[in-house]
Amino acid sequence: MTTTDSLTSNPVLRIAPAAPAEAAAYFRAALVFHADVSDVAAVLAADGDPGFVVLDSRSTAAWDQGHIPGAVHLPTALIPEQAEQLLDRSVPVVTYCWGPGCNGATRAALALAELGYLVKEMLGGFEYWVREGFAFETWEGRERRAADALTAPADSEDCGC
């Protein structure tokens, strides 16, 4: 079997990886648009102004079920009429919704960007916020669940990535 044959039969390499410069540009661009749950949590836990506002784009029922402490609640459908009263265009916004299976944070980020806001989407959403063991609020008060070992390091606060 030739190298060409092994590449075409290999589903991972059937389409060759991008050239390093192209890959670097793509991954740099991804970081421009996304924030990680752990990074958001670390900045919010530090003293001082985080330099951004966190926006929960879910429904009121979802917000009441649990949300990130300090987040602004603004459902996606209400962004065009209410964003200006709740957000400062000079402060970046980090949007989140339910989790990786939901594109609500993406739609909220698009709506905000179209209105002139600086915006990033928080990867993993509320699901991964809770699964990584960070505190959240409900209408009953603050809660925290143990970190899921499949989403966060079991014996360390730093995943090393």
What is the pLDDT confidence band of residue 149, given thresholds at 50, 70 and 90? Answer: confident
Asked whether the predicted pLDDT for residue 101 surpasses 70, the reply is yes
Q: Average model confidence (pLDDT) for the chain?
A: 92
CB 91 within 8 A of CB 53: yes
Q: Write out pLDDT tens, residues 43-93.
A: 999 988 999 999 999 999 999 999 999 999 999 999 999 999 999 999 999
Continuous segment of H or E residues that includes residue 143: strand 141-143
How far apart are alpha carbons 24 and 82 in whole angstroms?
Answer: 37
How far apart are alpha carbons 66 and 59 in whole angstroms?
Answer: 11
Continuous segment of H or E residues that includes residue 127: helix 125-131
Amino acid at 124: G
Q: What pLDDT score does 141 carry?
A: 92
Strands 119-123 and 93-96: parallel
Proportion of the chain above pLDDT 90, given as a percent: 78
Asked whether the predicted pLDDT for residue 105 surpasses 80, the reply is yes
- Alpha carbon 115 to chain centroid, angstroms: 20
Which of the two residues, 160 and 63, has the higher pLDDT score?
A: 63
Amino acid at 135: A
Phi–psi pair at 140, nearest 5 degrees: -90, -10
